[in-house]
């Protein structure tokens, strides 16, 4: 059974204070690992797909990396508008479903 564990559960940072969110996963044959952003009461918003260990993707202040056991979402010099819950999900080969973690609730304080 695919499993995703995210840490920390919640993170409060000062504006401009860089940090990283962790996503550990177990899946029998990784097809892809996905990062989403979710604002309160809204649907997940797609950020990145990572397919193989060593791959990196960047978008504005966010960079996602992947190893064989975990992924990191690095946030550089965050702004208050980056406050959201960040979700990690995995998809195994032959599956359609995404298996999500519980997310990290990020708060950026001005």
Positions 74 through 103 that interact with another protein (CB under 8 A): 87, 89, 91, 95-103
Smallest distance, another protein to C-beta of residue 77, A: 26
Angle at Cα 20 formed by Cα 91 and Cα 73, nearest 5°? 30
Residue from 79, 67, 75, 77 nearest 104 by CA: 75
Positions 7 through 26 that interact with another protein (CB under 8 A): none
Quick check: 49 binds another protein (CB under 8 A)?
A: yes
Q: Which is nearer to another protein, 32 or 76 (CB)?
A: 32
Q: Give the chain's count of helices (H) and strands (E).
A: 0, 11
Question: Residue by residue, what is the 3-state secondary structure of 62-96?
Answer: EEEEECCCEEEEEECCCCHHHCEEEEEEEEECCCC
Q: Which is nearer to another protein, 26 or 95 (CB)?
A: 95
Q: Which is nearer to another protein, 44 or 78 (CB)?
A: 44
Q: Which is nearer to another protein, 36 or 78 (CB)?
A: 36
Q: Which of 11, 21, 27, 36 binds another protein (CB under 8 A)?
A: 36
What is the C-alpha separation between 17 and 65, in angstroms, rounded? 19
Q: Which residues bind another protein (CB under 8 A)?
A: 31-32, 34, 36, 41-46, 49, 87, 89, 91, 95-103
């Amino acid at each position: 059974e695919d499993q995703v564990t995210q840490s920390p559960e919640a993170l409060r940072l000062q504006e401009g204070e860089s940090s990283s969110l962790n996503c550990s996963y177990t899946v029998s044959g990784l097809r892809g690992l996905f990062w989403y952003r979710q604002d309160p009461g809204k649907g997940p918003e797609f950020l990145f797909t990572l397919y193989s260990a060593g791959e990196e993707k960047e978008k504005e202040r966010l960079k996602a990396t992947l190893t064989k056991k975990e992924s990191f979402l690095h946030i550089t010099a965050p702004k208050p508008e980056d406050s959201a819950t960040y979700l990690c999900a995995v998809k195994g080969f032959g599956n359609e479903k995404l298996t999500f973690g519980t997310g990290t609730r990020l708060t950026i304080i001005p």
